[in-house]
Structure 1
Amino acid sequence: MELLKFSTAGSVDDGKSTLIGRLLYDTNSLTTDQIQAVEAASKRKGFDYLDLSLLTDGLSAEREQGITIDVAHIYFQTNQRKFIIADTPGHVEYTRNMVTGSSNSQLSIILIDARKGVIEQTHRHFFIANLLRIPEVVVCVNKMDLVDYSEDVFSNIRLEFLDFIKGFDSLHQRITFIAASSLKGDNIVNRTETMKWYEGPTLLEYLETVEVNQDINKSDARFPVQYVVRPHSKEHHDYRGYAGRVVSGSFAVGDEVTVLPSGLSSKIKQIVTFDGEFLQTEPSSSVTLLLENEIDVTRGNLIAKSENLPSAEKEFTAQICWMDTNASISGGKYIIQHSNNRVKAIIKNVDYIVNTSTLEKDTGRKWLKLNDIAEVQIKTASPLFFDSYERNKANGSFIIIDEGTKSTVAAGVIL
């Protein structure tokens, strides 16, 4: 079955946890014990309905405050697909959590409270989805039951959202609007008669039919080496394989490849997996490559098809999200981890820090604090072999590590 990974984001009390609970409940993805626990907890709170938000708010602080703080991964499936939900926090102080939680998503659900309409946090949620090049965005206008299921309210929110995104230099996704009520179950899994004017799909219908894997790069063959396999046994005395995951594109036996940074070339002799030998790989497959020539290849090297090599630069432009409580230091020494490769680096310049709610760019401040998103210039001690993030997500993203504390301080995408 196909797998769809999607993230959810919403402002405080938009009903995000209830929406996820409704998806699980109405698709019969809950055990009897889970349902009984929610029923008991709902009664203790004095509710005459099931408080489905209790299914996802796992931290005690989340239940007490009624907000999402940490990223939770939730698994369920229907007859059509398997799903992994990254339930991400929406509040501004947890921006870094939303960035990391959404980074592997193929689709993003942005919730809007029908009573409040598009607010500043909605702007930030879409900004992050656009930054991460998530190809599908569902704008779910929730709590339609509290505005009498008004078509005008839904239409006005849709127009307001579309007006905001006109301010982006470029857009990278298809946007779908769904009118729903998570509490009542309208248009989440089941279609109801409350909004006869709504002609779009239910949320589940959309999740089950939207195209998946459309953002996987199938043309640029990239293989970061994770491990050199040398058994040193009598049976495999001269065996030398290079294990890792094909992050994009594909390789076939006989392909001429180049190893970076050495620039040495060879041809693929064998492709070995746990299940046996194959003539060709697919994106995201974990394999061991054997080459015809014994050339120097180590962990952190990149194997690519010789006909299509990545960029090799010591300086590049990137957008980063600062994730550390300590501010960045101008000219401070950091380590860039790009796939399996680590190189020393400095943040040469902060071009601007973006206000994700208004899209305004602050060019004055040259240091970064927690949750800032900025465009920066980075200089590395040795060349980085990359593709732009827009072209190849897997080979265009990185993290920044503080050289002194070894803490991850930022995550970035190469422009």
Structure 2
Amino acid sequence: MFDIKWIRDNATAFDEGLRKRGLEPQSASLIALDEKRRALLTELQEAQSQRNAASKEIGKAKAAKDEATATRLMTEVAELKQAIAKGEEDERKLDAEIRDALSVIPNTPREDVPFGTDESGNVEVRKVGTPKTFDFAPKQHFEIGEALGLMDFEAAQKISGARFVVTKGAIARLERAIGNFMLDLHTGEFSYTEVNPPLLVKDQAAYGTGNLPKFAEDLFKTTNDFWLIPTAEIPLTNLVREQILDEAQLPKRMTAWTQCFRSEAGAAGRDTRGMIRQHQFTKVELVSVVTPEKAIEEHERMTSCAEEVLKRLGLPFRTMLLCTGDMGFASQKTYDIEVWLPGQNTYREISSCSVCGDFQARRMDARYRPKDGGKPIYVHTLNGSGLAVGRTLIAVLENYQQADGSVVIPEALRPYMGGLAQIQKA
């Protein structure tokens, strides 16, 4: 969320940032609302001063036994009290109107983010690994899983409907192995702290990361007003909400492997077969909380941590710098990591790593106290998938498939599979 004072002082830069996002300028309307609020505050201060002065005069009038003046002043104080109460209510409404207007405005992109209207404007940063050449027509993951008898979409449909799957046996264990491998890598080599967070969050937590109010339809809500998390970014980032940290506590790096839940409200007709786009899936999330001057360095570091998972698994991938028209709501800059899927003969997103500046911190009131003193400063937050576990499972199945329908287990995962080297049909 933006600071209205910053918008007043940087109106041109603010509107230019929105233009890059494909949005109309909004500084004028926001500043007009703020001017109205500021004028009301001035009126309230003047009315309060008049009330205080009149209250003092009442005492003097009563001391002088001037009942007529005292009565007139008491009437005046009563009227001022009513006017102040109404003014304070008007101020609360204006505050809420400004807050609501600011809450649905996306973060503005950094200068080094390429301009574009959609994914066609994204820029390839690097490509790692060479897609394997098969001497047979490679299958998609759901064809592999169903042929092995270890992936059942029909049963899931009966239980829960579309966009669910039941995995069994070695494939279910392989997904668990992938998640454990990721956690061990991030905690053991990259200094992330493992966290097991709640999967149900309150409004203010989803608001803090920017998921509410704008993206409510993308989430699942319980009947008693909790939200199922679409990503562990929400609970992890909110662990610093309403806190003033010491600078010595930063950077704070956290990771979690959780179930995630998304309504896929805008995905009608897209990826209806298989596990690419589901209502329930697992993901290992990375979250960093840093000082402003360390944010860009941390963004590169986080992205490299996510890439390392794919390198260890021997999966070809490319890293894309997203353009202004394809970035997430809270992001200032985003790298998408896309893994090669031979069954689809294309690269598909498996991670997004974003730096958000103080956009989320302002919504959460998360700050730190500089080591050299001075008033508290808003932290900068980052988040990324390290990686989407279900999509990594898909990539392993498709890249390591064999002509006979079996799947070779990558070396890095075999210790987590009890030494199993290959998945074959039972």
Q: Considering Cα pairs closer than 8 Å and 6+ residues apart, tell me whether 1 or 2 has the greater RCO.
A: 2
- Is the helix fraction higher in 1 or 2? 2
Q: TM-score, normalised by structure 1?
A: 0.24
- Is the strand fraction higher in 1 or 2? 1
Max Rg structure: 2
